[in-house]
Amino acid sequence: MKHTSINFPLLLIVSGAIALLGYWGFTRLHIDTDIVKTLPTQERVITDALEIFRNHPIFDQVAVDVSIDRKDPDLLVACGKRLAEIMRVSGLFAEVGANDVGALVPELALRVAGTLPLLFSHEELETIAPRLAEEAIRQRLQSVVEGLSGLEGIGQAAFFSLDPLGFKDQILAKLIHLAPSQQVTFYKGHLLSQDGRHLLVTARPTTAGTDGETARKLAAFFSEAGQTLSTDFAPAGIRVTLTPAGAFRAALDNETIIDHDVQLALGVSVAAIALLLLLAFPRPLVGLLCLFPVLAGSAIALFIYSLFNASISVMVLGFAGALISILNDHSITYLLFLDRPHATRGGQVAKEVRSIGQNMAVLTAIGAFLVISLSDFPIYRELGQFTALGLTCTYLCIHLILPRIFKTMPASSNRALPLQKVADRLFRTGKTGAAAALALAVALLFFAKPEFRISLSEMSTVSKKTQADDRMFTEVWGNIGAKVYLMTTAASMADLQATNDRLLARIEQDMRAGRVQSVFVPSMLLPGAERSRDNLAAWQAFWTTERVSQVKTTLIREGAALGLTAEAFVPFFAQLDSPDLIEPPVFDSRYNQLLGITTGKEGRLIQFTPLSAGKKYNAAAFFETYGQDGKIFDANYFSDRLGAILFSTFVNLLVAIAVMVSVLVFLQFLNWRLTLITVTPLVFAFICTLGTLKLIGHPLDIPALMLSVVILGIGADFAILTVRGCQWYGTVDHPGHLLVRSAVFMAAASNFIGFGVLCFAQHASLKSIGISSLLGIGYALLGAFLLLPPLLRAFFREGDSPLAPTAPFEQRILHRYRLLEPYSRMFARFKLKFDPLFAELPQWLDGSKEIRTIVDIGCGYGVPACWCLERFPASKVIGLDPAPDRVRVATRATGTRGTILVGAAPDLPDLADPADLILLLDMSHFLDDRQLIATCTRCQGLLAPGGLLLLRFVTRPEGSRSATWHFEDWRARRCGQKTWYRRPEVLQRMLTEAGLVELHLDAAINRELFWLSGRRPGAPAT
């Protein structure tokens, strides 16, 4: 770094400002850990599921499994009560326990027994007919009387009077479908497992359990509560185990794991990339400077992002390590070209790296991420927007700030750089490497069919203990995902009952058809007016006079035999004799929690109806039928639809990015063959990535899809820089192209580090991103280094071949520019087509002696020089221009017959042979009088006797001037050039003073231009 001109004040100011912006942006953003929010919101199946997730109490509940090491229901209930007491006083829960719900069950059973005529449909009444046989009634009465005589019969007399035959049991049995598992029982108001060793306590936290702070408080609370219970029941020799479950555990695990992974990714990525940079640059400290624009761009992007967004997904932050490697690509390229064996200037280097394709590479990468930001998936949008911002800010920092901080860089030492040697050796594998790459692609093509794995649970990575606890919960209490949930809403209880009546009628049809296996709808216990009327009519039709008489007689006779009087059956007989007096039950809000009913934020009633699918269940048809009245969550169908959406998103993004990349590449090259060559490594990378993922058993999941199509955007950088560098330097063997491929190799190595670290992440999502992206980036590099060299050599070798002399004149000129970048080609094409220069030149040159040596002062891109070379086949051209870029183009265009030098009049080079023709076309107005006179004098000395000096010059015409004149004048002033527009007679005088004779002046087709020629005195040599 010795003798390097560094603007340290600017460096310190920029560093401080960037640190402030990054801190400000980070503190403004909320880190969102909710994986559910990554899902799209424009698909009905998904929006229904999200709405149910937000409203169903079970999705925000905390469930605690209390277990003891022996079967003792009473002791287990005591443990449950103690835990509920601790939970209530903690202040962390808005509601605790289901004791009130358990107490309501006997009351509800009594109501059911008193409204039997309103609860049975025609089909259900047919199922109770066997119970009316004399033998069935005798057995039922004997069983009831035996029960009434024991302790378990206390309080059962009221039920017996209303329902001696136990019809209510058939109705109440439907409540079992509300339980998470049908293998649980209620005991003293508590939910116990079948083995009597587990008790379930449920509670609703005061704040959402997915909030990170709340999750930490809940975890700490249950740890302390477990210790308290163990202490309380230790004297009795009881070992109590608490196993909490709920969204808070997944949220806490995700936050902990991702925090670990983010720190790992950032720490290891920065350290490893820093080591890479130290080893890859002639001056190691210069290599470390690559991280400056990366960190600056990331900080600025974070700040800008925070201005338009309140939160950012933790998944996007987890991508930070990989993002640093992506942003580092362009920084590496700039500083590699700055740190060279000769002195460099920051501004010139910035221009050079833009010229070799960095503009195109950045634009392609930004475009790829912007296309992703158009996805329906919120996390795709966040990732696309943030990364596009990061790329843009980093690029601007490289080209606007770095050239001002590092103004000059002295020549570097000849330090051995192993990475450059590796890159060069890989690049020079030639046809052997290309054949190996093609063979690999063909082999993997058979496996390159995308396979998707759609699982929200796999996106949410939890600890092994949480996984084990979840498995235990599923075994003991059932799996919520095994049922289909239907959510309906209503403004009032009456409306809800009416809705339930219609819903139940429809579901009963599906149950008969085998589409639904089991269900519970509140109208089964508390029907509305419509359902009550229908059931009452069926009851009246079922209980004919003969059937009523037979049942009464049997009950009285068999009851008397058991010591029961006829008065014991009077309430039941009343329901048989005068059911028309029964009023529909009033829907009491106390039953809401038991029946799956909650109140929404706007006061509307929300009801959740769980059902089990039958053998003929069709999810799509079910959604079509029931989706009109409510929202549905079917875990299997949800996954299927999400998979279809992901596949559609994958295909759409793939097509969009492929088209975008192809269009951008074509617009940059304006050559369809170069475009195909550039996209070849991307096709290779895509085939090989999909094939390898299939072979290693890693299907495309939601996280992998984030990056699978971005490979086209990131991997395109490698191909673009390689192809454009070859186009800029003219051959892959140019020394400048060694820097290009070294930059590409180092960028790929940086990406390997960034994505490779994610492969060791604990979180499944980040690990998936790392694996798929690592493969994609690796194959993109192999494609660029193995496939492109033979293709580029063939393309440029063919393009270097001149056209036959019989080809059209203009086509021969344009062919000289065929291998150059689009601007040069278009400039030559439009100049030949629209500049009258070439229509007027023949009249000044035809009839002249044989022209062999031509000097073109201010040759620009060399179009007039090439015109002369084609016009005079035996000629050669010496060109002069102050702009190195124009000299480069003119040198390529004139080929072996041209010598183009960087310079400006009047400092003209000495010539080996006198010039037969010197051209000063449209450049004299950039010289002041002294310079122009000196130039003309120098030209007179360079001309052979009789040699021709030909000028076309611009004047400042009187009156209005053309738009072209104003544009050229504005462009000159914008570049800091002064102009001196002269009248024709002034120029004639200057040529005369320079010793030129036979002056000829003529107006050009354009009235703002004039032609002037003069010759050196003396006869031409023969």
Secondary structure of residue 1001 in the 3-state scheme: strand
Residue 652 pLDDT greater than 50, yes or no: yes
Enter the tokens of residue 645: 């959406």
Can you point out the beta strands (E) in 686-804?
none
What number is the average pLDDT over the span 518-530? 83
What number is the average pLDDT over the span 197-221? 77
Enter the tokens of residue 729: 């330097």
Instruction: For Cα atoms 645, 647, 649, give the angle at the middle one, nearest 5 degrees.
Output: 65
d(CA 765, CA 749): 22
Look at residue 991 in the predicted model and tell me its pLDDT. 92
Enter the tokens of residue 634: 């079917």
Look at residue 151 in the predicted model and tell me its pLDDT. 37
Residue 1022 pLDDT grade (very low, low, confident, very high; cuts 50, 70, 90): very low
Name every residue whose Cβ is closer than 8 Å to that of residue 152 and which is 6 or more positions away in sequence: none
What number is the average pLDDT over the span 152-178? 70
Name every residue whose Cβ is closer than 8 Å to that of residue 533 and which is 6 or more positions away in sequence: none
What pairing do the DSSP bridges indicate for beta strands 853-857 and 876-881?
parallel
Look at residue 999 in the predicted model and tell me its pLDDT. 92
d(CA 319, CA 405): 29
Look at residue 878 in the predicted model and tell me its pLDDT. 94
* AA letter at 62: V
What pairing do the DSSP bridges indicate for beta strands 62-68 and 943-954?
unpaired
Place of tokens 């000129």: 813
Place of tokens 């960034």: 754
Residue 399 pLDDT greater than 70, yes or no: yes
Cα–Cα distances (Å) from 918 to 366, 598, 694, in that order, read 48, 94, 67
* AA letter at 535: N
Closest CA to 689 of 706, 675, 709: 709
DSSP letter at 177?
G
Name every residue whose Cβ is closer than 8 Å to that of residue 748 and which is 6 or more positions away in sequence: 718, 777, 778, 780, 781
* AA letter at 569: F
d(CA 542, CA 544): 6
Residue 355 pLDDT grade (very low, low, confident, very high; cuts 50, 70, 90): confident
Name every residue whose Cβ is closer than 8 Å to that of residue 423 and which is 6 or more positions away in sequence: 741, 742, 744, 745, 746, 785
Look at residue 41 in the predicted model and tell me its pLDDT. 65
Closest CA to 38 of 319, 377, 386, 314: 377
Closest CA to 924 of 986, 861, 876: 986
What pairing do the DSSP bridges indicate for beta strands 605-613 and 597-599?
antiparallel
Q: What are φ and ψ of residue 367, in 5° steps?
A: -60, -40
647-656: long-range pairs with CB below 8 Å, 24+: 647/450, 647/452, 649/40, 649/375, 649/376, 649/377, 649/380, 649/705, 650/450, 650/452, 650/700, 650/705, 650/708, 650/709, 653/371, 653/372, 653/375, 653/709, 654/708, 654/709, 654/712, 656/371, 656/374
Look at residue 919 in the predicted model and tell me its pLDDT. 93
d(CA 193, CA 477): 7
Element at 552 (helix H, strand E): helix 545-561
d(CA 257, CA 733): 48
Closest CA to 580 of 113, 114, 118: 118
Enter the tokens of residue 495: 């409306």
- Percentage of the chain exceeding pLDDT 70: 85
d(CA 991, CA 450): 75
Element at 521 (helix H, strand E): none
Tens of pLDDT along 926-958? 899 999 999 999 999 999 998 899 999 988 877
Adjacent-strand bridge partners of 1000: 1013
d(CA 757, CA 774): 10
d(CA 370, CA 380): 10
Secondary structure of residue 610 in the 3-state scheme: strand
Would the CA dihedral through 214, 220, 226, 227 be positive or negative? negative
Residue 258 pLDDT grade (very low, low, confident, very high; cuts 50, 70, 90): low
More confident residue, 773 or 557: 557
d(CA 881, CA 890): 9
Adjacent-strand bridge partners of 920: 857, 951
Q: Kindly calculate the radius of gyration of the chain based on its CA atoms and give it in whole angstroms.
A: 43
Before 906, cis peptide (omega within 30)? yes
d(CA 573, CA 10): 99
d(CA 424, CA 667): 29
- Percentage of the chain exceeding pLDDT 90: 10
d(CA 43, CA 638): 10
DSSP H helices in 36-121 = 44-55, 57-60, 73-90, 99-114
Look at residue 880 in the predicted model and tell me its pLDDT. 93
Look at residue 240 in the predicted model and tell me its pLDDT. 85
DSSP letter at 182?
T
Tens of pLDDT along 951-1003? 999 888 777 777 778 877 887 777 777 888 889 999 999 999 998 998 999 88
Adjacent-strand bridge partners of 185: 192
Residue 863 pLDDT grade (very low, low, confident, very high; cuts 50, 70, 90): very high
Look at residue 756 in the predicted model and tell me its pLDDT. 73
d(CA 530, CA 505): 11
d(CA 35, CA 352): 44
Q: Which residues of 665-700 are buried (b: 16+ CB within 10 A; e: fewer)?
A: bbebbebeebbebbbbbbebbbbbbbbbbbeeebeb
Tens of pLDDT along 287-318? 777 778 888 888 888 888 888 888 877 667 65
Name every residue whose Cβ is closer than 8 Å to that of residue 173 and which is 6 or more positions away in sequence: none
Cα–Cα distances (Å) from 563 to 152, 154, 554, in that order, read 19, 18, 14
Enter the tokens of residue 946: 């009789």
Residues of the chain by 3-state class (helix, strand, coil), percent to 5: 65, 10, 25
Residue 285 pLDDT greater than 70, yes or no: yes
Cα–Cα distances (Å) from 354 to 298, 396, 399, 554, in that order, read 21, 12, 9, 101
Closest CA to 669 of 724, 715, 741, 718: 724
Contact assessment for residue 461 and residue 257, using Cβ atoms and an 8 Å cutoff? yes
Would the CA dihedral through 726, 728, 731, 736 be positive or negative? negative
Output the average pLDDT for the chain: 80
d(CA 775, CA 758): 12
Number of residues written out for the chain: 1022
Look at residue 2 in the predicted model and tell me its pLDDT. 46
Adjacent-strand bridge partners of 344: 409
pTM: 0.69
Ranked by mean pLDDT, the top range of 27-36, 342-351, 712-721 is 342-351
More confident residue, 756 or 80: 80
Tens of pLDDT along 78-129? 888 888 888 888 888 877 765 555 566 777 778 888 888 888 888 888 888 8
Tens of pLDDT along 656-714? 777 878 888 888 888 888 889 988 998 898 888 888 888 888 777 666 665 565 666 67
Closest CA to 612 of 631, 635, 590, 595: 635
Contact assessment for residue 729 and residue 821, using Cβ atoms and an 8 Å cutoff? no
Residue 40 pLDDT grade (very low, low, confident, very high; cuts 50, 70, 90): low
